Amino acid sequence: MQRSAAAVTAAEQAGRRRSFAVISHPDAGKSTLTEALALHARVISEAGAVHGKAGRRGVVSDWMEMERARGISITSAALQFEYHGTVINLLDTPGHADFSEDTYRVLSAVDSAVMLLDAAKGLEPQTLKLFDVCRHRGIPVLTFVNKWDRPGREALELCDELLERIGLQPMPLTWPVGEAGHFRGVLDVADGSFVRYARTAGGATAADEQRLDAAEAAAVEGADWTRAVEEAELMAASGGEFDPARFYDASATPVLFGAAVLNFGVRHLLDLLVELAPAPEPRIDVDGNPRPLDADFSAFVFKVQTGMDPAHRDQVAFARVCSGVFERGMVVTNATTKKPFATKYVQQVFGQQRSTVDTAYPGDVIGLVNASALRVGDTLYAGRPAVRFPGLPSFAPAHFAVARPADLSRAKQFRKGVDQLASEGVVQLLKSDLRGDAAPVFAAVGPMQFEVAAHRLEHEFSSPVRLDRLPYSAVRRLADPAQRAMVDAGRRSEVVTRADGADLALFEDEMAMRILQRQHPELALEPLVAEGG
């Protein structure tokens, strides 16, 4: 049977897409690298400054006022641009562990990841966690050792750490010439040439590159070049020779060295992503069946964000296109509610900047505007048969606070803001019978989520909030709602209800929980596992 023109287009266009996330420990340079990639693709003419530099503008992917003030990324950002005929969908993520849920959602929407390592710090706790998530999801990872322009560790030591601590075989594609802090350029392992970089003012423009053959490099760089060649050969002899199959099965990682703030090594990374990163593949639905790329349109919502355009206060749902051709104006079905959703306002996002999207293909990320009916994890589809993709995980909270409006005359705005933040997943919203609807309980993976929630309630909804921390650190699911009274009667525990109707038992600590269980052996408590993933 001959496929339709739209179906052929979907499959062919998917082959031109590369969708990846940039992930790492905080302050490893994710947002700086994101902007450097955009600079090399010539979609911006000048890079913003590194976070926190007074008097200089922030990077394009950090659009929230709070991000610019703190110099950290606290929400994911989507950027789309074209490079050498390939459409890049690049997702920058928050590195702080308090926002790990946002990062994990983004990883569900990409086909590969770029992991940044700080040349001085190597594998840090959050980096280890993210590697584990990528491995669990089978996401191929490219490693970019950043900040080689500053003093740091030995290149061989960093590569050994990848293998010894997480069992990921490093396969260097470039190798630094000059020790960390004295970066001269890189050895291109594939052809043995030397790529020498020239600094630009503040790293604001793409670094000039000069390519020399091995003889010229030896004459210019001497001992630094000899050492780089010997170390690269040692890596190849010890199992680090490049093998694409090992990258695709997530058992090994290509490694590159550079300095994102100076735009050194960034072009190598961008070229590698175009050449090597996997294109979109059929996504598995809830029944375990792959959704063909040329099937009717489908997508899933991995992020909901309000406040990107302060002038309009609109809500944007970010959706990854999984199959078919998306055309603006089409009416799709929300698999969760079974209700139709009109796609009149759809935008392509480049940081905070937007432009209207008329067509999108598998691998693309689209921003659905005025999407108050959509929630994180929703599946959208057109045509038949219906499809639904697995939901996204909800993580067990570890911090709790009662939220009340600081100004009772702003109670309506407070309620609207609370509901909005909960729908975006900024915090989990819990209902407490002890306090009533006027004082909801916020639950968070990390305490910085409370700061973000309070900041946004005050600045986006004009409703300053008072947050009273609760002394709970242990949470379990209450299997039998009839046992609520047992928990509420405890001196160091209470029951709250989640938005999905689940009853959660909160305890001051694990000891308090064990004491109550000894008093009531029949109390049925279940671990709160990540749900929906």
Measure the CA–CA gap between 70 and 85, rounded to whole angstroms: 36
Direct distance between the N- and C-terminal alpha carbons of the chain, in angstroms, rounded to an integer = 36
Q: Does 71 reside within a domain?
A: yes
Q: Could you tell me the CATH number of the domain that includes residue 362?
A: 2.40.30.10
Q: Which band of pLDDT confidence, cut at 50, 70 and 90, is reported for residue 373?
A: confident
> Per-residue pLDDT for 28 more than 90?
no
Q: Which of 276, 308, 336 is the last residue of a domain?
A: 276
Q: Does 4 reside within a domain?
A: no
> Per-residue pLDDT for 76 more than 50?
no
pLDDT tens digits for 31-44? 788 888 888 777 66
Amino acid at 64: M
What 3-state class would DSSP assign to 99?
helix
Query: Both 149 and 132 in a single domain?
Result: yes
pLDDT tens digits for 416-432? 989 888 877 788 899 98
Query: Both 377 and 461 in a single domain?
Result: no
Query: Both 140 and 50 in a single domain?
Result: yes
CA angle 354, 359, 363 (to 5 degrees): 85
Q: Which of 245, 276, 307 is the last residue of a domain?
A: 276
Query: Both 206 and 332 in a single domain?
Result: no
> Per-residue pLDDT for 89 more than 60?
yes
> Per-residue pLDDT for 71 more than 50?
no
CA distances from 158 to 178, 313, 463 (A): 15, 45, 48
> Per-residue pLDDT for 16 more than 90?
yes
Mean pLDDT in residue range 325-342: 94
Mean pLDDT in residue range 76-96: 79
Query: Both 370 and 233 in a single domain?
Result: no
Query: Both 445 and 357 in a single domain?
Result: no
Q: Which band of pLDDT confidence, cut at 50, 70 and 90, is reported for residue 164?
A: very high
H or E element, residue 23: strand 17-23
Measure the CA–CA gap between 423 and 303, rounded to whole angstroms: 10
Q: Does 407 reside within a domain?
A: yes
Q: Could you tell me the CATH number of the domain that includes residue 229?
A: 3.40.50.300
CA distances from 3 to 11, 166, 395 (A): 11, 44, 42
Q: Does 56 reside within a domain?
A: yes
pLDDT at position 73 is 43
CB proximity list for 6: less than 8 A, separation 6 or greater: 324, 325
> Per-residue pLDDT for 504 more than 70?
yes
- Per the structure, the complete domain to which residue 290 belongs is given by 283-381
The contacts found for 340-346 with CB under 8 angstroms, 24 or more apart, are 341/368, 341/371, 341/373, 341/374, 341/380, 343/368, 345/369, 345/370
Measure the CA–CA gap between 235 and 160, rounded to whole angstroms: 10
Total domain count, the chain: 3
> Per-residue pLDDT for 274 more than 70?
yes
> Per-residue pLDDT for 294 more than 90?
yes
Q: Could you tell me the CATH number of the domain that includes residue 488?
A: 3.30.70.3280
Between 376 and 101, residue with greater pLDDT = 376
**C-beta of residue 525 within 8 angstroms of C-beta of residue 481:** no
Q: Which band of pLDDT confidence, cut at 50, 70 and 90, is reported for residue 52?
A: very low
Q: Which of 243, 276, 309 is the last residue of a domain?
A: 276
- Known binding-site residue numbers for GTP: 92-96
| pTM of the complete model | 0.78
Mean pLDDT in residue range 365-375: 86
What 3-state class would DSSP assign to 514?
helix
Q: What are phi and psi of 401, to 5 degrees?
A: -155, 140
pLDDT tens digits for 453-495? 898 899 888 999 999 999 999 999 999 989 999 999 888 899 9
State the SS3 of 212-272.
Answer: ECHHHHHHHHCHHHHHHHHHHHHHHHHHHCCCHHHHHCCCEEEEEECEHHHCECHHHHHHH
Query: Both 241 and 310 in a single domain?
Result: no
Q: Does 7 reside within a domain?
A: no
> Per-residue pLDDT for 47 more than 60?
no
> Per-residue pLDDT for 53 more than 50?
no
DSSP 8-state assignment for residue 511? H
Q: Does 390 reside within a domain?
A: no
> Per-residue pLDDT for 99 more than 70?
no
Query: Both 367 and 405 in a single domain?
Result: no
Q: Does 533 reside within a domain?
A: no
Query: Both 364 and 423 in a single domain?
Result: no
pLDDT at position 397 is 86
What does the mean pLDDT of the chain come to? 85
Query: Both 444 and 358 in a single domain?
Result: no
Q: Does 8 reside within a domain?
A: no
Radius of gyration in angstroms for the set of CA atoms belonging to the chain, rounded to a whole number: 25
pLDDT at position 312 is 52
**C-beta of residue 177 within 8 angstroms of C-beta of residue 194:** yes
> Per-residue pLDDT for 321 more than 70?
yes
Query: Both 67 and 189 in a single domain?
Result: yes
> Per-residue pLDDT for 335 more than 70?
yes
Query: Both 442 and 486 in a single domain?
Result: yes
What 3-state class would DSSP assign to 172?
strand
Q: Which band of pLDDT confidence, cut at 50, 70 and 90, is reported for residue 444?
A: confident
Q: Which band of pLDDT confidence, cut at 50, 70 and 90, is reported for residue 307?
A: low
Q: Which band of pLDDT confidence, cut at 50, 70 and 90, is reported for residue 203?
A: low
